[in-house]
């Protein structure tokens, strides 16, 4: 059996699709027809009870949710593809740190910006939640900027953490001064394998 990835174009499953492709894993892709900022059809909860994308069905038929967990898992499943540093090393500790940091701070800000109605019952508060989420996302990106070893997050070698971070960088809507993030994102965009997947999801962004 192969992997089965559920996503929608332009959504966070981009990075999981990139990881599966870099791993040369056999996978099926189902792209849901739903707009960003709108909840997925209720019926999708049969696949993921939290109703979110990406959702990944593993070859053994079990379900995985949470993009960060999928990246960590796929890097471990395909060690020969160098998707991340070897477990137990300090580079791996940094890999885990930044993937989880991105998940709980950047992705969470994206959710607050896109779905403010989940964070307040007061419609008048939506705008303030969005503005604060964009600011918080910028703050988190600047923390990453200061920790990029260069040219990639962990140094000379690209890992799945770089692809994840580049995705959040182009999703950010505020203005920040982040030349290292910009250069890292350019490298992801022009990567021979990841670049075409990027353009299918994000066009020329
Ligand atoms: N923590 C989740 C966040 C996933 C997420 O927010 N996905 C969005 C698409 S980018 C989604 O499914 N939105 C629909 C919804 O929340 O109803 C992850 O890292 O996978």
Q: Are 158 and 146 in contact (CB under 8 A)?
A: no
Q: What percentage of the chain carries pLDDT values higher than 70?
A: 100
pLDDT of residue 99: 98
pTM for this predicted structure: 0.98
- Summarised one tens digit per residue, pLDDT across range 36-81 is 888 899 999 999 999 999 999 999 999 999 999 999 999 999 999 9
Helices (H), the chain: 13-22, 67-77, 90-101, 108-114, 126-145, 160-171, 179-189, 194-202
Residues with CB under 6 A from ligand 1: 11-12, 39-40, 51-54, 66-68, 103, 107, 111, 115
Residues 109-123, mean pLDDT to the nearest whole number: 97
Residue 62 to residue 59: CA distance in whole angstroms: 7
pLDDT at residue 92, rounded to an integer: 98
Residue 91 has pLDDT above 90, yes or no: yes
Q: Check residue 184 and give left, alpha or beta (phi > 0: left; psi -120 to 50: alpha).
A: alpha
3-state secondary structure of 27: strand
Q: What is the pLDDT of residues 152-165, one digit of tens each?
A: 999 999 999 999 99
Task: Calculate how far, in angstroms, residue 13's C-alpha sits from the geometric centre of ligand 1.
Answer: 9
Q: How many CA atoms lie within 13 A of 95 on its CB side?
A: 24
**Mean pLDDT over residues 95-121, rounded?**
97
Query: Probe ligand 1: pick from 12, 69, 109, 165, max atoms within 8 Å of CB?
Result: 12
For residue 37, what pLDDT is reported? 83
In angstroms, the CA 130 to CA 101 distance is 20
Q: In sequence order, which residues have a C-beta less than 8 Å from that of residue 151 and are 6 or more positions away?
A: 183, 184, 187
* SS3 label, residue 62: coil
Maximum distance among all Cα pairs of the chain, rounded to whole angstroms = 52
**Domains with residue ranges and CATH for the chain:** 3-81 (3.40.30.10), 90-192 (1.20.1050.10)
- Residue whose C-alpha is closest to residue 191's, from 170, 163, 149, 169: 163
* CA of residue 136 to ligand 1 center, whole Å: 18
**CA 186 to centroid of ligand 1, rounded, Å:** 25
């Amino acid at each position: 059996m192969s992997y089965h990835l559920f996503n929608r174009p332009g959504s966070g499953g981009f990075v999981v699709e990139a990881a599966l492709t870099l791993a040369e894993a056999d996978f099926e892709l189902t792209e849901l027809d739903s707009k960003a900022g709108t909840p997925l059809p209720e019926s999708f909860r049969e696949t993921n009870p939290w109703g979110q994308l990406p959702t990944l069905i593993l070859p053994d038929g079990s379900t995985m949710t949470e993009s960060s967990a999928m990246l960590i898992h796929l890097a471990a499943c395909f060690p020969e593809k160098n998707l991340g540093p070897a477990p137990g090393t300090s580079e791996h500790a940094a890999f885990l740190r930044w993937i989880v940091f991105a998940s709980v701070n950047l992705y969470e800000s994206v959710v607050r910006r896109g779905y403010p109605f989940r964070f307040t019952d007061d419609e008048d508060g939506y705008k303030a939640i969005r503005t604060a989420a964009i600011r918080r996302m910028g703050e988190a990106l600047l923390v990453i900027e200061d920790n990029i070893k260069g040219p990639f997050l962990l140094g000379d070698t690209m890992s799945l953490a770089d692809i994840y971070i580049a995705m959040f960088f182009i999703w950010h809507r505020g203005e920040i001064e982040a030349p290292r993030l910009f250069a890292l994102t350019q490298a992801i965009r022009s990567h021979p394998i990841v670049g075409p997947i990027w353009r299918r999801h994000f066009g020329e962004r």
